[in-house]
A and B are shown apart, each in its own frame.
Chain A
Amino acid sequence: MSSMDDELTKISASNGINASTGDYFFEPETIDEIAARAARPPLDQEHIDELVEHHQSKSFAVVPWASPKNLSETGWGVIFPAGDDPTIRKIRDALSELLDHRKEQAGANKPHYYREFIGDDGYYPGITKSAFLQKYGATYSSADPENVPYYLLIVGDPETIPFSFQYQLDVQYAVGRIYFETLEEYASYARSVVMAEKGMVTRPRRLSFFGTRNNDDPSTLLSSTMLISPLAEEITKLTSGGALAAGWQVETLPYEETKKERLVRLMGGADTPALLFTASHGAAFNQGDPRQLKHQGALMCQDWPGPKEWRKKPILTDHYFAAEDVSDDANPLGMITFHFACFGAGTPRRDDFSYTSSREIAPHAFLSKLPQRLLGHPKGGALAVIGHVERAWDYSFKFDKTKRQTQTFTSTLFQIMDQHPIGAAMEFMNGRYAELSTAITEYEHSVKQGKQPDNYELAGLWMQNNDARSYVIIGDPAVKLVGSEPSAAARPTIEPVTVTGIVITPSAVTTESTPVQPTDKEEEEKTVPEAADFGLFSSLKESKEGIQNSLNELLDKTKQTLSRVLSDATSLDVLTYVSDEMETVEYENGKLKGATQLRAMTRISADGDTIVCVPRTGGRMDTELWQVHKDMVDQALTHRTEMIKTLSAALAGLVDALKVL
């Protein structure tokens, strides 16, 4: 680290909406600290080695002779906390309907392919994944049900069986988790799964995309254009291409309609689909906020007017969809939902992205209430919720700053729709986690070989890695989506919904605009033949043609720029330098050159993730310079928003004018 870098080490990472304050979720961190943490990973070396092997072998998580769709080949097991707490036995009994069902399936040929890890076989506090597996003769290679079944359901809260155990186990196994506060909910969930798998529940084969978008909010603006839109397009192509069972309908809600009342209809209401994918902010609360435990991870809806109008005020319950919005009359039975949102699945006790390990963000780790409510609903629950523990980052759907990567999501959704057990479908997510861990290992190796260390690169890789790790299943990992032909009458019955709208994307804008051309020249001459014959309008026509050309050029440029701003500019960078030789300062290839020192940086990316490097002087933050920098950030955000509005208006105005001329 140079001395200049020493002065430039404060970094913050934020994501999601801090519902306690109405601002973006924002906590200080240093880039050196993140990099240092990445260099000394909290994960044990064995786990890293395993991830690398998993990635390099390109193997499936389960042994290749077992079909992931067949539980009698893959096995199924349930992990309870160890010990003789009578409550655990009561929970086990409440789940008996599901356990009996799985025993019948997984143990059909080999009884030991069904396992209950309970009592002395259960999870002991502090036991590592490797120690747990070794106890049963399992190794780091593919999951072999001869030792430990491939599908593993953890039953317990994340304080008792930590998220870290789940993440580690998930690398080669298909893992899910349930935890409820009442026995009735366990029993209800068990019955829901069994009913669904016995064909007593169907849902129309419909995938609904629900993506909010506030135009002054970079997070949702880009998640709507770089995640929801391309994902919907790709899945639509797959469904229309015959790759899936007939009758699938893909519905993308216009973002204007992604309001809370619509989610009420989609999550147990009249429009409940078989599969729902949401992309939005997750509500996050400060530790100590009375709403944190019951509302953290609730889904922010379009009812929130956006950060510009609202950011300095606490978020209202009307702005988000929380557990209590799923009423007792709702019927989420049989559905599966995927929530791309911060804390959508759960919250760890400590910040996963903070170097300061003592920094607590919650009184204890907990699962989000919304998935719990959906799964344990008294009238029958959803089969599973896929969500994110801690903050969800835009790294999930983009890479290299500007390029989108939705393949992982597409593959996962495709397999769910193709009725793979949800745990097997999630292997694409796990593969990405392994891939990123490998990238960190390769980076470390190259540094050892003499490469100049780059803390930004290392910190970026580390954060991507943590992000990819934290997608989890709330529910039984062996559940499959239930779907029927839209016309099939079954419980629950809902009317099939056709595709009603397309979210505006840069490509859609381009497509709509392309047919608009200047008036056909021949037609134009027919309109004014006499005048042309007399040479009447010669100067007028020349001028008009010149203007038409200029308008067309400007129209093309506007389209390109708007497309670039919406699609490519996945982040907004604001950099602040100081110089004692201002005359030497120049701008070249996207960077300031000359006698400058970089003192502060803010990068706001797709879903509101913010990286901030704060200036320090003499070990303390340079508050004056920080204030100046913050002013630049505010101005840059305002400018970006205005630019998008103006470009959109210009596009519409120019197209209309060309039609007239």
Chain B
Amino acid sequence: MNPGSSSPVFQFYDTDITYSQSDLMGIWKSDEQVESVSYDISGSQTDDSQVWRANLPADLNQARSYLTAGIRKLEISRQVLESVPSRLDQLREELDRGRSFGISDRLRPEAELLEFLANSEAQATAVSFGLADQFDSKIGDIFSGLLHRLRNSFNKYAWVETSFGERLIARTAVDWSGDFHTAWTIGLDQSEAELHSKTLRLALKTRDVLARMIIMIARATVKISLLLSSPITAPLALPAAYKYVHAIMADPELIAFIKNEEH
């Protein structure tokens, strides 16, 4: 996102999270993806904080556009997430009515979900040794990682920093109760202050969307379990839900829409 800089624009760091994960909502790069991060923000790192840092370019308009695009992306992501229960309800209604759409007739996330469930159910009936393969153990790890990350956001305070043209302009601590403590560099003008305000919004919105994603996976788990015919396969509802929500978030149409918004 920031071709002119050696560091990514948005960085995230949490000392407790040691496993490799994809970046947060496609916006924040975690420390393991960016080796220099831990060095960059070593002064800010503590075990009881989650650090969110924006390294904004010196061009004010460009800096604003990064932040605005990030916030917009999160807003769209949240809207998409909120559609998960109703999409699953609609799918179930169609199945209950026995409408014979082929998998290919459906939207891609729903098609993948039905395919996954169909394979799982078939193999369960055959008591296949291969059923366990349907459960990608990595999904379990990733989902556990998400839960861990969210739990940490309850345990830790958020430490949000904004650098504008390599000058650290503000730092904010947001504790579990929502209290804000902000230090601004002296002599800041309104437009610069606005940058940190947006960084803060971006960080907190990311945390919120992450939580909403887990909530939607949980709700999707319940709804998908109703689509399964055998109790044997009930445990598959969770990975199925994870895959489904992930597919919705990665929907090409959504990505295209967001890219279009960015431009």
Contacts and interface: CB of A to CB of B under 8 A. Distances in A.
Given A582-B169, A656-B219, A553 B182 contact: no
Interface in B140-160: 140-141, 143-144, 147-148, 150-151, 154-155, 157, 159
Contacts of B197: 628, 631-632, 635
Given A531-B232, A643-B178, A656 B183 contact: no
B132 interface: yes
Interface in B17-51: 43-44, 49
A585 interface: yes
B151 to A, nearest CB: 5
B140 A543 contact: yes
B191 to A, nearest CB: 11
Contact of B179 (A553, A576, A636): A636
A587 B178 contact: no
Nearest to B147: A550
The dominant DSSP class at the A interface is helix
Interface string B123-134: 000011101100
Nearest to A628: B193
A507 interface: no
B132 A649 contact: no
A635 B186 contact: no
B215 A646 contact: yes
Contact of B127 (A534, A544, A558, A628): A534
A546 B43 contact: no
Residue with the highest number of chain A CB atoms closer than 10 Å, among B127, B144, B208: B144
Count chain B CB atoms within 10 A of each CB in A527, A592, A643 and give the residue with the most: A643
B176 A564 contact: yes
Interface string B147-189: 1101100110101000000001111111111111111111011
Given A541-B235, A580-B185, A580-B186, A650 B178 contact: no
B214 interface: yes
- Secondary structure at the B interface, as helix, strand, loop or mixed, is helix
B69 interface: no
B181 A639 contact: no
Interface residues of A, number: 70
Interface in A192-238: none
B184 A577 contact: yes
A579 B173 contact: no
Given A527-B232, A657-B219, A657-B221, A550 B181 contact: no
Given A543-B137, A661-B221, A585 B171 contact: yes
Given A544-B235, A632-B182, A646-B215, A583 B168 contact: yes
Contacts of B217: 657
Contact of A543 (B135, B180, B184, B190): B135
A572 B177 contact: yes
B180 A553 contact: no
A587 B173 contact: yes
Contact of A628 (B49, B184, B186): B184
B218 interface: yes
A551 interface: yes
Contacts of B235: 537, 540-541, 544, 661
Among A561, A569, A573, A657: residue with most chain B CB under 10 A: A657
A402 B135 CA distance: 46
Interface string A613-656: 00000000000110110011101100110110010011001101
Nearest to A562: B154
B243 interface: no
A649 B215 contact: yes
Contacts of B180: 573-575, 632-633, 635-636
Given A569-B177, A583-B168, 9 more contacts: A547-B144, A551-B218, A569-B178, A582-B169, A590-B175, A653-B214, A654-B218, A657-B221, A659-B222
22 contacts: A527-B234, A534-B127, A537-B132, A540-B235, A543-B239, A547-B143, A554-B150, A557-B154, A557-B155, A560-B154, A565-B177, A565-B178, A577-B184, A580-B186, A591-B181, A635-B197, A636-B179, A646-B208, A646-B211, A650-B218, A654-B218, A660-B225
Nearest 5 CB-CB pairings of A with B: A543-B140, A653-B218, A657-B218, A569-B177, A587-B173
